[in-house]
Structure formats: C-alpha cells, structure tokens
Amino acid sequence: FTIETCLRRAIEAERLTLAYQPVIELQTGEISGFEALARWREDGVDIAPSTFIPVAEESGLILPLGRWALDEATRTLRAWDRRAGMTLPVRMAVNVSAIQVTRDDVPAMLEEAARVHNVAPERLVLELTESAIVADPDRAAKAMEAIRSVGATIALDDFGTGYSNLAYLQRLPIDALKIDQSFVTGMLGDRDKVAIVRAVLSLAEALGLRTTAEGVETLELSQTLAALGCTRAQGYFYAAPLDAEAAYAYWSRSN
C-alpha cells in the first residue's frame, strides 16, 4: 500500500494519537499550556510527522486529520479538567495547516470543538504558519479575524522560516510568534542565531506580541531567553512531547 492509503485508513480507524508538549512561562516557570502534536504508529513503527504531514497536505488528508486533531486535543483538555476536578489554568495549542485555512472552515470547527467539549475557546490556541498567509492572504486574514472573534488566540508557528511580508504582523490578529527551533537550539554558540532571536524578540515587543522559543534543550538557554525577554519556552529541557497520561502527570507534579 502507499503511505497515503495507510494514512487514510489510520485516520478513519482513529489510530493516530496526539502527544502534548508543555509550554512554560519563562518569568514564572509555570505551565502556560501544551502543544498537541500528531503521532502515527503503524505495526509498532513510529512514522515521523515530517514524513506524514506533507503526505497529508498533498493528498487532502490534512483536512480530516486537522479536524480530528482539534477535536481530540479539546476533548483531552476537558478530560484533564474532569480528572483534576477543576478547570486547568492551561491553554491547548493545535497546529493548523495552510491547506486547512484555504479549504476548510477552521473558525466553525473551532467553535464546534469548544462547544461539544464544553471548553472555553479562550483556552485554545491555533498555530498557523506563515505559509498560510503567503498562500492566500485575504482568506487567512478573514479566518484569523473569525478565530479571534470566537475567542481563541493565534500563534504564528515556525516564525522566521516562511518569508512572509512582515507588514502582515501588524495587520493580522496574531497574539504570539513561535521562534523556530532552528534558530534556538544551539544559539548560545552561534552569534548569527543570537542576532536573529534578538531581532525577533524586539520586533515582537514593538508589536505587542508574545513569544515562544521552541527547541529549548538546556537550563542555560532557558535563562538566556528569559533575560532577553522571551515570554515562553518549550523543548526537551522541560519535556518532550508526552502522551495524554504523562502530560497530565507533568501538570500535576508542577501544581
């Protein structure tokens, strides 16, 4: 079978799972939330998102996959609330492909997931990439406005890798920039990376945007980013992406 056929079956049979990576507030050390990341295990072998997400995007399977991911992440957040006997003070971030923004009604999906699972939409973050803006700027702008009017927030993922016109940052209702791990991991020994991260942080500050550094693997890096004014961090220094059970345990241990 082709990978596309296998992926279609895995989506239909709900054999994909989500892993949840903690996002930490750098000033307080508190858990800001979690990023939901799709996982696919076939016959005991993990297939990397870098392999199957492009296949999903090329085949259109990203539409059902993305719909499922938003629903499943929201359902999990609600399950954690019930388990804790309280509304967890954390946000759940879900990745949204440019193709979903162009071809699906993401704001309606978001509203439905929040309603069905009884989760305040303010607790949901949609991570969009610059490629969504480049693909169809008008449509992306409309979708972003609608997402914000539902109450969710928007993070621009992989920031710095997508060649978008920086003027969009000012016009679009973006709440946060996620600094791609290619600039963050190993930045301490690399003056060019430090310069890029500093530039992104000052741009974000000037525009009133929060920032999340990805790929934070060491204490020293987390301290440097905090000193530079970065809002949040995620990476192996805190935790790898965890299954729902382990992510809940991580939250419990920290609270």
The listed partner (Na ion, Mn ion, ligand G, none) that binds 242, CB under 5 to 8 Å by sort, is none
Q: What would the x/- binding string for Na ion be over residues 151 to 170, using CB under 5 A?
A: ------xx------------
194 three-class SS: helix
Give the chain's end-to-end CA distance (angstroms, integer).
Answer: 46
Strand pairing of 31-42 and 45-47? antiparallel
Q: What angle do CA 167, 173, 174 make, to 5 degrees?
A: 80
Q: Which helix (H) or strand (E) holds 85?
A: none
The listed partner (Na ion, Mn ion, ligand G, none) that binds 171, CB under 5 to 8 Å by sort, is none
Spatial CB neighbours of 136, under 8 Å, sequence gap ≥ 6 = 101, 102
95 touches Mn ion by CB under 5 A: yes
CB 60 within 8 A of CB 27: no
User: Footprint of ligand G on residues 90-109 (CB under 6 A)?
Assistant: 95-97
Which of 49, 64, 137, 162 is the binder for ligand G (CB under 6 A)? 49
User: Smallest distance, Å, CB 46 to ligand G?
Assistant: 10
Of the candidates 18, 16, 128, 10, which has an alpha carbon nearest to the alpha carbon of residue 75?
18
Q: What would the x/- binding string for ligand G be over residues 137 to 166, using CB under 6 A?
A: --------------------x---------
Q: Which is nearer to Mn ion, 57 or 157 (CB)?
A: 157
Q: Which is nearer to Mn ion, 159 or 250 (CB)?
A: 159
Spatial CB neighbours of 63, under 8 Å, sequence gap ≥ 6 = 99, 100, 103, 104
Which of 111, 127, 130, 180 is the binder for Mn ion (CB under 5 A)? 127
35 touches Na ion by CB under 5 A: no
User: Footprint of ligand G on residues 223-242 (CB under 6 A)?
Assistant: 235-236, 241
Quote the crossing angle between the two packed helices 62-84 and 106-116, to the nearest 10°.
30
The listed partner (ligand G, Mn ion, Na ion, none) that binds 235, CB under 5 to 8 Å by sort, is ligand G
Q: What share of the chain is helix, strand, coil (3-state, %, to 5)?
A: 50, 20, 25
Quote the crossing angle between the two packed helices 49-59 and 3-12, to the nearest 10°.
90
User: Smallest distance, Å, CB 157 to Na ion?
Assistant: 4
User: Smallest distance, Å, CB 203 to ligand G?
Assistant: 19
Q: Which residues bind Mn ion (CB under 5 A)?
A: 95, 127, 157
User: Which residues contact ligand G by CB under 6 A?
Assistant: 21, 37-38, 49-50, 53, 66, 69, 95-97, 157, 181, 185, 214-217, 235-236, 241
